[in-house]
Amino acid sequence: MMSRLFIALGASVLMYASAAAETTPPAKPWMNTALTPDQRADLVVAELTLDEKIQLVHGIGWGPLKEGGPVPADNNGGAGEIVGIPRLGIPSVQQADSAVGVRMAALQGRYATLLPSVLGVAASWDPEGAHLYGDVIGREIRAQGYNQSIGGGTNLARDPRNGRLFEYAGEDPLLAGVMVGNLIRGVQSQHVMGDIKHYAFNDQETGRAVVDARIARKAARESDLLAFELAIRIGEPASVMCSYNKVNGDWSCENDWLMNRVLKGAWKFPGFVVSDWEGTHSTEKAVLAGLDVEMPGEDYLGAPLKGAVTAGRVPMQRLNDMVHRLLRSMFVTGVIDRPSVPRFVVDPFKGLADALHLAEESIVLLKNDGTLPLDAGALRSIAVIGAHADVGVLSGGGSAQVDAPGGNAIEPTVSTKWGHVVYFPSPPLRFIREHAANARVQFASGADVAAAAALAKSADVAVVFADQYMSESGDVPTLALPSRQDELIVAVAAANPKTVVVLITGNPVTMPWLGQVAGVFEAWYPGIGGGQAIANLLFGSVAPSGKLPITFARAEADLPHSRIFGLQPRPANDPLEGRWAEDPEKHATFPADYSEGVRFGYKWFDSESKEPLFAFGHGLTYSSFAFSELQVDQQAKSVTFTITNTGKRRATEIAQLYAALPPKCGEKFRRLAGFARVTLSAGEHQSVSIPIEPLTLAVFDEKKDRWTWPHGRYTLSVGGSSRDLPLQASAELY
Ligand code: BGC
């Protein structure tokens, strides 16, 4: 047996087995592309030694993520690596975090495009946009020499204070499933492997490594797992990442029900399950429950797995299956047939154009008293205030952090274990100035509230920016904007009634000043095209088209749980009070009792008859639309209706179809069952058909362990938001 040596960047040297007679390479029948990916994977598995098989089911350690650790010579600098088998032509798997763009690109002098938040692209309700989002990530992953993107966040927004919501696609299973599924398709269209995470119920960051999500199986299948089911069906990702938390008593990464029964059994997922980084807790239990690859290291699936296989505690057949799943995904996506050749340079201009387009589609106009769009020609002075809008826009942190070109646009003051709070150099101030060339546009930081109010008073219009940093490994205790920004907005609005607020946040926030301001945009974290996109929408060169993928509550008390499970309140004088702060991670296991089941977000507000601040699906534009002539096709299970642009300019409406199950089911809420993004010129009308996604009408029967469709009359409603549904019809669909 020969060994292949990897020279570590530090003093350490890693050795990996590679049973090879490199001088006489074997014929490689698995390179025959006429065979199916499964046949090709089987042929490779038959050639592998036990050591090689073990090598393919774990990573090499923390690699460049942690200083001082060993790094193989072929390492590409990403979050993970699985060492390949060169003698058989199987490349190493090089993984890069890439939730909203490729992470750590600057580490090796590379550039990556920062896209708007995933929550933002969900707000576009545009599956093509989601595909484009994935294209950008796949393109740049590939150009940078990686062959797997580990993004694809699909956890539902069960709690609007979750620190990672900007990486996820909102609160509805259909919307999240369709958007993430298309995003994954985009990634994999670039011949790299995609991933979907964090499977499952990693719905809060507080105590994420110990929290035990307790939920009934029916509710689980109809909520978070439905989002995964749809995204996996549409996106066919190479892998599924199991999460840190426990679900109903078992760690996700050794949860037989989640992995074997649901994912691989019911959904027939043919790819591999990879653990979140250090999310593996055992060898036999994990592997027999369905875990295929341990990341980032080999604590459980290295030597201990070899021992378990040799002793017969894990059948060789199971190890073969684990390896088969990895290889199959590599063949399906093309990473073996079309290996990525690092060019190290991506196309930043194409990236910017795509990021700008996606940001323009994602920003939601929440309120407008008629002040918007701003009339560039008529304005003589504009006050721009707050959130470092003079230099850039905020980005989200954690493993989703993308490096800012040229470095952080601000002198950072806050740092976490993930690094600093980073602003990207896309300054709204600059783009506002470009639009309003004849106006005096002045900036106030907002640190001095009185000075900001004085500037606002002297201007025709005030645009106040407010932001909130979020990152994985922590949540926020409240929905309030941090750092006295509410106070700033109140003071500015009191000084100038024509005050427009632009929120740059990862999550919904409360708006105690809503009644005093003229307009509000939610811009999420808008990415490298952010400043430009915001200005384009403010001045109306682009009409807003986004709609909320998540409910905005008036207060924490209106949520299913007024507090995040396990969150320790901070002392009142703590400077971090109310702000995102790293979870201390010193918890013993504690339960998160999801007794609300599927009733969170709009389903909660609807069934509890609570008024949200802004409803799921809400979003305004600079035109108006009318809906008419709803028809239901019982056979085809689709609806057809007419949308008319009744306003004065071309704009986009997102038509939403909601279904209520037959009354005997006792559900007191509707379910989103389909949607369509429609762009029309002033006065134009169009007949629109929306097919109903059958799973949105289904009920999961725990006893039969399968979906069932209740008989009876379903009520179908169509309109422009979950709370604005002018058309209704009912039909016996099953
Ligand atoms: C995150 C994952 C990420 C991994 C690797 C973990 O902390 O939960 O989403 O992919 O780190 O960076």
Q: Does the beta carbon of 553 lie inside 6 Å of ligand 1? A: no
CB 565 within 8 A of CB 211: yes
C-alpha 372/C-alpha 71 separation (Å) is 54
Mutate to test the pocket of ligand 1, among 93, 277, 293 (most ligand atoms within 8 A of CB): 277
Q: Does the beta carbon of 245 lie inside 6 Å of ligand 1? A: no
User: Average pLDDT, stretch 403-415?
Assistant: 86
Tokens found for residue 214: 């307790």
Q: CA angle, corner 441, sides to 435 and 445, nearest 5?
A: 120
C-alpha 227/C-alpha 199 separation (Å) is 11
What is the per-residue pLDDT for 15?
A: 38
User: Per residue in 439-453, is it b (16+ CB within 10 Å) or e — as a string?
Assistant: bebbbbebeebeebb
Distance 48 CA to ligand 1 centre (A): 30
Name the nearest CA neighbour of 708 among 698, 716, 717: 698
What is the per-residue pLDDT for 19?
A: 41
Mutate to test the pocket of ligand 1, among 81, 155, 274, 276 (most ligand atoms within 8 A of CB): 276
Domains of the chain, residue spans: 2-27+40-333, 363-538, 623-732
Q: Does the beta carbon of 637 lie inside 6 Å of ligand 1? A: no
Name the nearest CA neighbour of 369 among 516, 509, 504, 502: 516
Beta bridge partners of 620: 365
Mutate to test the pocket of ligand 1, among 472, 473, 583, 585 (most ligand atoms within 8 A of CB): 472
Distance 505 CA to ligand 1 centre (A): 21
Residue 340 clears pLDDT 90, i.e. is over it = no
C-alpha 563/C-alpha 598 separation (Å) is 18
For 256, counting Cβ atoms within 10 Å of its Cβ (0-12 exposed, 13-18 middle, 19+ buried), the class is: middle
Distance 103 CA to ligand 1 centre (A): 11
CA–CA distances in Å: residue 289 to residues 62, 286, 314, 581: 25, 5, 11, 34
Q: Does the beta carbon of 236 lie inside 6 Å of ligand 1? A: no
Which residue, judged by its Cα, is nearest atom 11 of ligand 1? 277
- Give the tens place of pLDDT for each residue, 102-114: 998 877 678 999 9
Distance 318 CA to ligand 1 centre (A): 26
- Give the tens place of pLDDT for each residue, 132-164: 999 999 999 999 999 999 999 999 999 999 999
What is the per-residue pLDDT for 501?
A: 99
Residue 18 clears pLDDT 60, i.e. is over it = no
Residue type, 585: E
- Give the tens place of pLDDT for each residue, 194-210: 999 999 999 999 999 99
Residue 611 clears pLDDT 80, i.e. is over it = yes
**Could you count the other beta carbons within 10 Å of the beta carbon of residue 154?**
35
Residue type, 42: D
C-alpha 708/C-alpha 697 separation (Å) is 9
Atom index in ligand 1 nearest the CA of residue 151 equals 10
Atom index in ligand 1 nearest the CA of residue 167 equals 9
Residue of higher predicted confidence among 614 and 412: 614
Please tell me whether the peptide bond between 618 and the residue prior to it is cis, using omega within 30 degrees of 0. no
Residue 17 clears pLDDT 70, i.e. is over it = no
Write the DSSP assignment of 386-402 as a string of letters: STTTTT-EE---GGGPP
Atom index in ligand 1 nearest the CA of residue 80 equals 5
- Give the tens place of pLDDT for each residue, 539-592: 999 999 999 999 999 999 999 999 999 998 777 777 777 888 888 888 999 999
User: Average pLDDT, stretch 465-488?
Assistant: 96
- Average pLDDT of the chain to the nearest whole number: 94
Atom index in ligand 1 nearest the CA of residue 65 equals 12
C-alpha 470/C-alpha 98 separation (Å) is 16
- The CA-to-CA distance between both ends of the chain, in Å, stands at 63
pLDDT band, residue 344 (cuts 50/70/90)? low
Q: Does the beta carbon of 52 lie inside 6 Å of ligand 1? A: no
Q: Does the beta carbon of 197 lie inside 6 Å of ligand 1? A: yes
What is the per-residue pLDDT for 123?
A: 99
**Could you count the other beta carbons within 10 Å of the beta carbon of residue 308?**
20
Q: What is the DSSP letter of 551?
A: P
For 15, counting Cβ atoms within 10 Å of its Cβ (0-12 exposed, 13-18 middle, 19+ buried), the class is: exposed
- Give the tens place of pLDDT for each residue, 494-547: 999 999 999 999 999 999 999 999 999 999 999 999 999 999 999 999 999 999
CB 690 within 8 A of CB 626: no
User: Per residue in 465-491, is it b (16+ CB within 10 Å) or e — as a string?
Assistant: bbbbbbbbbbbbbbbbbbbebbebbbb
Q: Does the beta carbon of 276 lie inside 6 Å of ligand 1? A: yes
For domain 363-538, say whether CATH 3.90.75.20 is its number.
Answer: no
What is the per-residue pLDDT for 110?
A: 81
User: What phi and psi values does residue 637 have, to the nearest 5 degrees?
Assistant: 55, 60
- Give the tens place of pLDDT for each residue, 677-721: 999 999 999 999 999 999 999 999 999 999 999 999 999 999 999
- Percent share of the chain, pLDDT over 70: 96
- Give the tens place of pLDDT for each residue, 266-323: 999 999 999 999 999 999 999 999 999 999 999 999 999 999 999 999 999 999 999 9
- Give the tens place of pLDDT for each residue, 21-42: 445 555 899 999 999 999 999 9
Q: Does the beta carbon of 79 lie inside 6 Å of ligand 1? A: yes
Residue 2 clears pLDDT 90, i.e. is over it = no
Which residue, judged by its Cα, is nearest atom 3 of ligand 1? 399
Query: What is the CATH architecture of 623-732?
Result: Sandwich (2.60)
What is the per-residue pLDDT for 14?
A: 39
What is the per-residue pLDDT for 459?
A: 98
Q: Does the beta carbon of 81 lie inside 6 Å of ligand 1? A: no
Q: Does the beta carbon of 155 lie inside 6 Å of ligand 1? A: no
User: Average pLDDT, stretch 347-354?
Assistant: 96
Name the nearest CA neighbour of 655 among 240, 126, 263: 126
Q: Does the beta carbon of 472 lie inside 6 Å of ligand 1? A: yes
pLDDT band, residue 635 (cuts 50/70/90)? very high
Atom index in ligand 1 nearest the CA of residue 208 equals 8
Q: CA angle, corner 476, sides to 471 and 478, nearest 5?
A: 155
Q: Does the beta carbon of 97 lie inside 6 Å of ligand 1? A: yes
- Give the tens place of pLDDT for each residue, 661-672: 999 999 999 999
What is the per-residue pLDDT for 351?
A: 97
3-state helix/strand/coil string of 535-549: HHHHCCCCCCCCCCC
Which residue, judged by its Cα, is nearest atom 4 of ligand 1? 277
User: Average pLDDT, stretch 175-195?
Assistant: 98
CB 217 within 8 A of CB 254: no
- Percent share of the chain, pLDDT over 90: 88
For domain 2-27+40-333, say whether CATH 3.20.20.300 is its number.
Answer: yes
Sign of CA dihedral 319, 265, 246, 178: positive
